[in-house]
Structure 1
């Protein structure tokens, strides 16, 4: 089978074999000394750009001046220039209505051709014209020896160059055969209208017509289709009675459609048909064509995918296009993250591999920065300068190492990409880009695509040099835009087809091809006939006759369909999609309807099968399980839904399937265990492996770990969340829009502002008002990082300033009420009081219960001292910029932070006992200010609190990390909702012991504490 076949030469001595027109043009060029340079696609594009530029400079673009910047219009204009060149169009020629060009477009064409002449070069279209003239100009001595034979297959060309070649070879002493699709039957006159004029001209050239009879070995159904399809008037009793050699399949679009094709391919191979005798033809290359080829390949059939693929879809080129846009987009964080996660990026940097780059991407994603190379590095430097009270020292060191590595990698990446963003000549841009791609390790897996790109860029640079623009500077933005066009227009290098593989092609490429079996795939409405061939018929008014050009265009479509069917020797299989991805019905191709209409009812029922949908596991069509994955899904469905285990047992014994099935079996077993209404098990977070439990116990022992109250609260909130965050150290990806508020960062700034205000208040010696002190505190805190902010960040900071200003004004009013409600004026003595961390002045706080010890660390927002009738007292305050926890949560022992902080203050600051606890509380900055929580029996609360802490720590050290959140609806917001399977656990109504609770009272200013009501615990609370 020959691809792109237009003519075939049986050479004499010394004559090369010519298989297609492009081969002929190149052969002619190779035999001529003074021949033009054949331009590559990139070089021709550079000449075209110069032509547009020159015409625009002359002010002759006119109405298309605003269109030439659009890539789509430029492609259409280049296609029109190609067609004019092949047709050897002249301005004084009489164009048809659809070929008429505007004055501006013709000016571009003339300038383009003039530039090619000046460069002594030609594009592909121009080479055909030049070569045909040179071939015609040869003298008789250049002809080949007698006996040479030349065969033109399916000669339907309207190009002057092809006719020029034919006229030349007919005048020389050689044997010439020309094949043409034509049948002299009045009932088929409209079908062969497209080739009738060609036939007449061939006869005028002296060729003798010899009709070729239909191949008698072809199945009767195919022979009948050749004779009966598209006849003017076919009576019902003359319909085709035999469908032998013909099959029509309809199925849902997508992978199911590919399965239909793959099944038939496998069936043909099973019947002994050689793969290279099977031709799969598509009306055009599309996503569906790609899916069909992929499914056939997964089904184990050798297939050569001949689809043209642009360079920009190659993985290495796609990664390069990502990289070059990063500096233009001011280092937008999302772009950098995607680039670092691209598997094509493999720089030869120390300590950097693929996993390290993915880790750097995750770290960058967690930063509050959205763009700016300097801002990214500064954010990492600030993160390295902070400590995290939720992690112990070992984990803190690992965190610092990760941040340091991320800083190092991003600094290196910035050093590679930022220097690209400058103006320089085209050739220097190409060299710098090639150097950057090598530094980043792009193309190490397959460098063919990049080599093709470098060649295209060099070709363009060479043309620019010849046009006198070699030294002209080009901005990086302009270079990147042109780079995108070059990669979109340049075809990727494709591997040669291997013998013994199924061939693929589109309809235009099968002229002259023969195959044992032809599969015409994708016969949806608009494919046969194409819409362009019927559009002029749809525009006709009632009573109007179609123009000869419209009739000829439609005739070419019918002939194209017949030729595709006629290229099969033994069988034709036609496939059409019945429904789209959403299940909506699709219309068949018009010619397919004509074919089915030409069959008798019995013939149609024998060859035509159509399906609107299939079972997701293919239970209704087991024969469509053609890929290994389909086979496993089907076997599992048969076992689960119908109890048929034979197929699953067979696959389980196959090493190729066993590993996958073992994983599926483990998942099903875990699901079954979760559904049981039994106590928690290892499938809901209860670790039972002794080695794992021992490892966890060591990790959280007093010698290796210092707890923070927030960690304990996390465990109480949901043990599985603690396990994910502090045992597995899973880092959730924060999805935050650039314009969305960062509540954590804003809360941190609020804390800093309040601390600064209270310090200024305590140290004030003049008569400045609280409002002035607040303004000064806000300005000092918010101006720290202004020099590092981008313009967008500065705008967002201005909005944030207004929000913070309102919150601080609210705080000023709350502070006034806070002072009036206290027994005496509260005196803030400590802000951000830290203990247990290396950067704090105070040691960790130890709790003991018998021989057991637990070390605690933390950072208290504020500690006030208040004089009361019973003596000096202290108060522990925790600022909350959001909604503060309720006192009931503290009373129930679900929020341990404040009472534990109170115990730590007693031990670390007032161990002598001269200052006692007054109360603790949350200060809701957006709420009603400070709400005190009073412990009436503090000694008893402390004892219960210690028991609860040790109970919690005992549970986690024993590996009890069950999925037991204290709040309903947590699956809508929890960071780890994608891994916990909370719905399955809740459906089983599992429960556990939560340990002792704490008792507390809430005191509202001027009122007595309320007696808490006894409430019955719900299952979820338990």
Structure 2
């Protein structure tokens, strides 16, 4: 065994000398010498430095401890194979699925959740690297849960052994007994290696002909407790006495508004540095949570024109590109849910015109009340087509509505045909199949569709990101396919296949951007021992730095303590070390920042910032100008244009853009302010062709409904949108009755009851005919609810409230009959129901607008109910099933026109005299008639 030399140095100190020593050893033993460092970023940085200086590097001679173990394993493995973390999670998921009956606490519903799989993978990593005998180490805390975890753990390790596999953790243990030749070994900067790593380091020490170990160390025991004595060094070099670590360069600490504002501020400072001559490669931005931060970086940095490189992008599962590809599997796996099909057809990565447009399918499926189920699509569309055809056949349907329905039917036919092709194409993805079988069917469909459809336009950053996402997704699919070959061949459902693929995608980054002549975007832990002239550390809030997660996955605090893993103090010390090491990486400039808000929630700045407070005061800048942002520059130019400073705006954006922005600002700030007198308010008198078209529709012969006139009185622009442009809010896809449908149902039942009752010769309701009347209306109600066709639990409950039951008590219809019995004493008796006029345009009521005026209007409508007294006076009644309706004040103000106009129409058409207008409230909690206005002489 060779002498082992231990060097104690502050983080980053002595690295240059250590690299020089390694260079000399590598010159003598190029195939055996190895330099082991904590991070792959530092390894890449050192390797680049050596090669740029003319020192040849063989393979991965500069690597991490895990990289060294993998290299030795590949040299010695024979028939063995190493698997990735993603493959490890797939194996765990397969074990959970296969042993689901034995694991009721871990597997719910027969399918393992991705959360449980990820937590088990993390727990297994800790148990292996910390050499914990699980579950025996729990002692008297062992439980049914720990027994299930132990079963999965043992099965997982046995599976690896039986298939000659090693994961990223057992790989270290495998090398403890390695026999391959090792050259001179130089290890720099490992902070508190875990037990399994220590064992491997000691095994390397035993076999290496030359062993040098530099440990991060100062006298600060709040950060450094590992002095390296466990290496059993033959020589200890303290470099004199290690000095206290000191931060070099200028330090700034800044509070920012929110996360976006923080990243923008960093981006602006970077642009200023680059403009001042600093090379982008001399700048780095570090975040405690890099994957989360990349969401903001990928949006902000391209906007500021900053070239950047990162070890990883955002989580692949966030990519719209990848989510679209997963939707192809999700559609059949989730039973052809409406939202999945619409999203699939709306995706430009999938639907290039081969299938109906998602927007059309969205509208029609809402109208058809489709929620999911392959067969329900055509059944729902057929029912919708039937309803439209029935309305077209009605003589009272307005001609405009007929034309609209015919257009909808034509669109519906195209959608049904297109969806038939889509569902036929997706059919091979249905049913249980092996993972390999699912992948083969999926790849075949992607090939047949030419998916994903890659965009041929867009910014270079966007195109690069989408290409990167596509490549990363298919690598994930390859990983699943490769892993499936070593798994027991068993069939899984489409949902199970989707879960496995999503599991890999969720744990995969979209791929890093490795470019040296660019700003480096890194994690805080990657910064240790680097030499960075200008370093920004952002996102320094509690929960991110430090991240004090002491509890082990799937474990209580007491179980975590019993297993003897890291305590809160250990984690705090480790987090403080990584923060300190990152600070020491800065050479000329160090900028620390944190967001004050995270969305709507306030944040708490990291306590580590306070520890640096002696070196720099906290800055809270006011409103800042982000001049390098193209988006914000455009917004600033808009503000200048709005204030009339056109020359200043032209210095920011091109003059044509200034003119266009001014035109649009005038629309909003001038034309759409004050009285409605411009085309932008819906006043179209400036356009002769528009006036001609409107005259044809709304000229002297136009027939109006009270609802149209009420809409115009309330909001002319809303009338323009609905009455002129025929735009309507999207229908709700809710499988339960809408308020409008509920009202229509009550209207139909009441109309059928009284029409049949009077035609059968019955008179007013009395105590004697009350039972028969109740039977009549309940029979009608049962017939009508059967025609509704809903199947939801909520509809079942609503039917009970309508028809009544032993549990719900008297229903709404029974209470209606009881109220009608009370009203039978009034001289007003039901005379007409669903009284319609003018719907065909031929029998519209001619209403004079003012006394003595020749100005008239043609009115159409359908009146719910007319009650007439023996002396010829009548009352108009409108059924209401909602909670709010217009009152007398709205009638007087001219906003509630329905009841007054209907009274004038009936007077015109029948010669009867109007006496009152009323609302008949029909709800679960209220059944009563309330007059809104009446002739006081006849009350």
Question: What is the TM-score of this pair, normalised by structure 2?
Answer: 0.73
* Deviation at residue 5 of structure 1 after TM alignment: 3.4
What do the CA deviations read for 1:448-479 (whole angstroms, capped 9, x no partner)?
656655654565466556443x2x33344444
- Choose 1 or 2 for highest CA Rg: 1
Q: 1:380 aligns with which of 368, 380, 384?
A: 384
Could you say which residue in structure 2 is the equivalent of 1:566? Answer: 584
Task: State the secondary structure of the residue aligned to 1:346.
Answer: coil
1:24-423 to 2 correspondences below 5 Å: 24-28=68-72, 30-32=74-76, 34-51=78-95, 71-86=114-129, 105-130=149-174, 133-134=177-178, 136-138=179-181, 152-156=187-191, 157=193, 159-160=197-198, 162-163=200-201, 166-167=204-205, 170-171=208-209, 179-182=214-217, 187-188=219-220, 192-197=224-229, 201=232, 203-204=233-234, 209=237, 211=239, 227-229=243-245, 244-285=249-290, 287-288=292-293, 290-291=295-296, 294-307=299-312, 309-319=314-324, 344-346=349-351, 348-350=353-355, 352=356, 356-365=357-366, 373=376, 376-377=380-381, 380-385=384-389, 386-387=391-392, 389=398, 391=400, 393-405=402-414, 407=416, 422-423=431-432
CA distance in 2 between partners of 1:898 and 1:552 (Å): 77
1:743-892 to 2 correspondences below 5 Å: 743-764=739-760, 769-786=772-789, 789-802=791-804, 805-807=811-813, 809-810=815-816, 813-814=819-820, 817=823, 821=827, 833=836, 837=840, 843=842, 845=844, 858=860, 860-861=862-863, 879-882=878-881
Could you say which residue in structure 2 is the equivalent of 1:488? Answer: 506
Task: State the secondary structure of the residue aligned to 1:5.
Answer: helix
Q: 2:548 aligns with which of 514, 531, 545?
A: 531
Structure 2 CA distance for partners of 1:440 and 1:834, relative to 1, 3 Å: farther
Could you say which residue in structure 1 is the equivalent of 2:723? Answer: 726
Structure 2 CA distance for partners of 1:40 and 1:751, relative to 1, 3 Å: same
* Deviation at residue 725 of structure 1 after TM alignment: 0.6
Task: State the secondary structure of the residue aligned to 2:778.
Answer: helix
Contact 1:632–1:661 (CA<8 Å) still a contact in 2? no
CA distance in 1 between partners of 2:155 and 2:928 (Å): 77
CA distance in 2 between partners of 1:572 and 1:97 (Å): 51
* Deviation at residue 315 of structure 1 after TM alignment: 1.4
Could you say which residue in structure 2 is the equivalent of 1:474? Answer: 492
Task: State the secondary structure of the residue aligned to 1:783.
Answer: helix
CA distance in 2 between partners of 1:884 and 1:594 (Å): 63
Structure 2 CA distance for partners of 1:931 and 1:818, relative to 1, 3 Å: farther
Q: 2:712 aligns with which of 711, 715, 719?
A: 715
Structure 2 CA distance for partners of 1:84 and 1:531, relative to 1, 3 Å: closer
CA distance in 1 between partners of 2:447 and 2:868 (Å): 68
CA distance in 1 between partners of 2:321 and 2:329 (Å): 13
Name the count of aligned residue pairs. 839
* Deviation at residue 117 of structure 1 after TM alignment: 1.7
Q: Does 1:671 align with 2:669?
A: yes
* Deviation at residue 626 of structure 1 after TM alignment: 4.1
CA distance in 2 between partners of 1:188 and 1:750 (Å): 80
Contact 1:384–1:404 (CA<8 Å) still a contact in 2? no
What do the CA deviations read for 1:889-923 (whole angstroms, capped 9, x no partner)?
8899877768887998999xx9xxxx755559766
CA distance in 1 between partners of 2:500 and 2:469 (Å): 17
* Deviation at residue 357 of structure 1 after TM alignment: 1.4
CA distance in 2 between partners of 1:479 and 1:295 (Å): 36
1:496-515 to 2 correspondences below 5 Å: 496-515=513-532
**Uncovered stretches (5+) of structure 1, i.e. residues with no partner:** 214-225, 231-239, 540-545, 934-1000, 1010-1022
Q: Does 1:4 align with 2:19?
A: no
* Deviation at residue 304 of structure 1 after TM alignment: 2.3
Q: Which range is displaced more, 776-785 or 704-713?
A: 704-713
Structure 2 CA distance for partners of 1:482 and 1:832, relative to 1, 3 Å: farther
What do the CA deviations read for 1:342-380 (whole angstroms, capped 9, x no partner)?
555526435x3xxx3124324444555656635743553
What do the CA deviations read for 1:791-815 (whole angstroms, capped 9, x no partner)?
5433333334449953565367548
Contact 2:336–2:372 (CA<8 Å) still a contact in 1? yes
Cα root mean square deviation, aligned: 5.4
Could you say which residue in structure 1 is the equivalent of 2:3? Answer: none
Contact 1:807–1:926 (CA<8 Å) still a contact in 2? no
Structure 2 CA distance for partners of 1:263 and 1:364, relative to 1, 3 Å: same
* Deviation at residue 4 of structure 1 after TM alignment: 3.1
Structure 2 CA distance for partners of 1:902 and 1:107, relative to 1, 3 Å: closer
Contact 1:831–1:861 (CA<8 Å) still a contact in 2? yes
What do the CA deviations read for 1:417-463 (whole angstroms, capped 9, x no partner)?
68856434333344455566678886323476566556545654665
**Uncovered stretches (5+) of structure 2, i.e. residues with no partner:** 1-36, 455-465, 558-563, 763-768, 849-853
Contact 2:650–2:658 (CA<8 Å) still a contact in 1? no
1:890-929 to 2 correspondences below 5 Å: 916-917=911-912, 919=914, 924-926=919-921
What do the CA deviations read for 1:103-138 (whole angstroms, capped 9, x no partner)?
66455433322211211222223334445754x334
* Deviation at residue 587 of structure 1 after TM alignment: 3.6
Task: State the secondary structure of the residue aligned to 1:754.
Answer: helix
Structure 2 CA distance for partners of 1:193 and 1:865, relative to 1, 3 Å: closer
CA distance in 2 between partners of 1:37 and 1:534 (Å): 32
What do the CA deviations read for 1:545-578 (whole angstroms, capped 9, x no partner)?
x999998766655543443233334333332445
Task: State the secondary structure of the residue aligned to 1:267.
Answer: helix
Question: What is the TM-score of this pair, normalised by structure 1?
Answer: 0.67
Contact 2:682–2:717 (CA<8 Å) still a contact in 1? yes
Structure 2 CA distance for partners of 1:393 and 1:46, relative to 1, 3 Å: closer
CA distance in 1 between partners of 2:592 and 2:748 (Å): 73
